A and B are shown apart, each in its own frame.
Chain A
């Protein structure tokens, strides 16, 4: 399910994956792992421009030289979108359990604790009541930095609660996704979060609440195959990888030659899976416009 779960990468790396030379990875299977990319997080992976933290933040974390969209953390995304502090967080107390006593190279509980400390989040999603351009709505934002934005029981539960909160207040629901897919450490229960979140969207539809899905890099596997694909309106950020299966796994399984823009937002738009690609600087006004339309529809 989490076959798209790879660390966030710039466009240049994705293109490298798409090149036919990838096959060497099989022969070199037992070689020591390549040294991690040592590039500074504020250096643009596409064009190499470097930014001070405050510069990057001021520009909504978009490269002013080439337009590359850097990853945005959940709280920063909320600050970018909502009217001056108009966000009232809900269900902040929820935490993952370890129902299987899962242990791969390290225990799941240790990974969770580490993620909580390093991100300051309880799990990979924040939900709450929000206002965007004076339009009341429910907002859910995922954070890739928390275990690859993976969806386990807490993400599924929070998504359901967000939907219930929107239904209760009769407001539209906006979900901003960034996820590698279902969280393997919770086994089959993670897979059950797909139907669970699908049911949550169906409840929204029954209550005639609008649902706007904003897919950011990357939105793959279990999240793409559930609520994220069910928006009344679905938009994505430029260059975002939106694929059920990520390029590495497709390449290794099928040995097919991948198109250069495999799985990217631009390709998804061409094939009819998206309504629009919205650059980050235009996202807030765009959401304001759509929310006004859905508010009038009620």
Chain B
């Protein structure tokens, strides 16, 4: 039964969906243009709401990948190691039963107490983690299991060994493998989906995103350090690059916003898992009806269309007269 809060969110999203993209609106009348602008300001998340999402997405009590696995999957078997060098606890992989079907799972995992957080490397995978993920993708492809990925990482680990072991190449090849799979792939942004660390397991058919999660090209602190030359300006940076779910939906980057219990997922992990499970189940049902090759082609088309640009007609420098 949808709560008051959930209904409110859905109404707001409907209102937003009827509005044009953030920029580039070409409307005839000035009045109409102004009215649209007013509507947009009303419907669009404010800077404060965006920052609230950033805080909730990184809340220390927010459910992590394994909290959802525990509540949504039966017979879960975690798979360890990249079969070459190491086991990376920052990225969890495994197989489990979800609503009656076997699925493969990959997700970044943070820890709650300091010891566990250190062991999980704060959810920042090394290349070995992504290679373990690719091993599980291959299992999914071989046995035609749908693949589910949970995105929750501050970024891929920025360390000397990670670089020497090929962090950039591992992220690239993980995505490339996802572009080749012919099984349904759904990702859920459940916390902070930051930069290459997140997108490495994010090339998918459908992206679900929790209401208070964030999805962005860089952490607010990282962006502030580079553009403002002061990591303390994170709030301004977040307001500028808009990592919240509503903006991601509007830009076509995600397909559905999954509601959270009022006040945030951490206040009621069971309810949060129920809502996420419902969205995930219906998305997988829809995708399993699509033939395999078509699924892969549609996935590539999805990314082919992402981006906003314009074509400027370049006039020849000197045009001979008629």
Q: Give A contacts to B, CB under 8 Å.
A: 1-3, 5, 29, 33, 92-105, 122, 152-154, 156-157, 160, 182, 184-196, 198-203, 220-222, 224-230, 242-245, 249-250, 253-254, 256, 258-259, 262-263, 267, 271-273
Chain B 299-320 against A: per-residue CB contact (8 Å), 1 yes, 0 no? 1100110111111111000000
For window 206-252 of B, CB contacts with A under 8 Å fall at 215-218, 222-223, 226-230, 236-237, 240-243, 247-248, 251
Separation of A13 and B19 alpha carbons in the complex (Å): 50
In the complex the two chains form, is A95's CB within 8 Å of B164's CB?
A: no
Contact B196 A184 (CB under 8 A): no
Residues of chain B within 8 A (CB-CB) of A267 are 164
- Say yes or no: B168 contacts A244, CB within 8 Å: yes
Q: Please, how many angstroms separate the alpha-carbon atoms of A95 and B24 in the complex?
A: 13
* Closest Cβ neighbor of B215 among chain A residues: A188
Docked complex Cα distance between A97 and B162 (Å)? 35
Instruction: A5 to B299: give the CA distance in the assembly, Å.
Output: 30
Contact A160–B304 (Cβ < 8 Å): yes
Are A250 and B169 closer than 8 Å at their CB atoms?
A: no
The residues in B between 114 and 160 inclusive whose CB is less than 8 angstroms from any CB of A are: 156, 158-160
Please determine whether A194 and B241 come into contact, CB atoms closer than 8 angstroms.
no
Given B176, B228, B307, which contacts A156 in the complex, CB threshold below 8 Å? B307
Chain B residues within 8 Å of chain A by Cβ, number = 65
- Chain A residues with CB under 8 Å of B162's CB are 244-245
Determine if B199 is an interface residue (Cβ-Cβ < 8 Å): yes
* Interface check B203, CB cutoff 8 A: yes
Cβ B176 vs Cβ A99 within 8 A: no
With A187-B241, A201-B176 already in contact, the answer to whether A97 and B24 are too (CB < 8 A) is yes
Shortest beta-carbon distance, B50 to chain A, in Å? 11
Interchain CA distance A296-B303 in the complex, whole Å:
32
- Closest chain-B Cβ to A127's Cβ sits at a distance in Å of 14
User: B67 contacts the other chain (Cβ, under 8 Å)?
Assistant: no
In contact, A199 and B243 (Cβ under 8 angstroms): no
A195-B171 contact, Cβ under 8 Å, with A97-B24, A104-B240? no
Choice from B198, B251, B304, B308 contacting A196 with Cβ under 8 Å = B304
Which B residue's beta carbon lies closest to that of A192? B306
Residues of A near B314 (CB, < 8 A) are 92-93
**A149 CB → nearest B CB, Å:** 15
Q: A100-B23, A226-B171 are in contact. List 18 more A-B contacts (CB 8 A).
A: A3-B218, A101-B23, A104-B228, A105-B227, A156-B307, A184-B218, A190-B217, A195-B199, A199-B203, A200-B304, A221-B168, A224-B169, A225-B199, A229-B171, A229-B172, A244-B167, A245-B156, A271-B164
Which residues of the other chain, B, contact A185 by a CB distance below 8 angstroms?
241
Chain A min CB distance to B231 (Å) = 9
Residue pairs across A and B with Cβ atoms less than 8 A apart, 29 shown, are A1-B195, A94-B312, A95-B311, A99-B22, A100-B22, A100-B241, A101-B23, A103-B240, A152-B307, A153-B308, A156-B306, A184-B218, A187-B243, A188-B253, A191-B195, A192-B199, A193-B307, A194-B171, A198-B179, A203-B300, A221-B168, A222-B195, A224-B169, A243-B168, A244-B163, A244-B168, A262-B163, A273-B166, A273-B169
Instruction: Tell me if B21 is interfacial: C-beta within 8 Å of chain A.
Output: yes
Task: Write out the residue numbers on chain B whose beta carbons fall within 8 Å of the beta carbon of A228.
Answer: 168, 172
With A98-B23, A105-B227, A202-B300 as given contacts, are A194 and B163 in contact (CB-CB < 8 Å)? no
B191 at the interface (CB under 8 A from A): no
* Bound: A182/B215 CA distance, A: 14
- Nearest-neighbour CB distance to chain B for A200, whole angstroms, equals 8
A1 touching B196, Cβ below 8 Å: yes
Chain A residues with CB below 8 A from B22, complex form: 99-101
- Least distance between A174 CB and chain B CB atoms (Å): 18
Contact B217 A187 (CB under 8 A): yes
**Chain A nearest Cβ from B54, distance in angstroms:** 13
Q: B202 within 8 Å of A by Cβ?
A: yes
Given contacts A184-B217, A225-B172, A229-B173, contact A196 B307 (CB under 8 A): yes
Given A98-B23, A244-B156, A254-B160, A188 contacting B304 (CB threshold 8 A): no
- Cβ A221 vs Cβ B158 within 8 A: no
Q: Given the complex of chains A and B, what is the CA–CA distance between A2 and B203 in angstroms?
A: 20
Contact present for B300 and A100 (CB under 8 Å): no
Given contacts A1-B196, A156-B307, A199-B203, contact A244 B171 (CB under 8 A): yes
Residue pair B168, A99 in contact (C-beta under 8 Å):
no
Smallest CB-CB A-B distances: 4 pairs: A153-B307, A224-B168, A245-B158, A229-B172
Listed residue (B203, B247, B306, B309) with the most chain A CB atoms within 10 angstroms of its CB:
B309
Given known A93-B312, A195-B203, A263-B163, contact A99–B303 (CB-CB < 8 A): no
Would you give the shortest CB distance from A248 to chain B, in whole angstroms?
A: 10
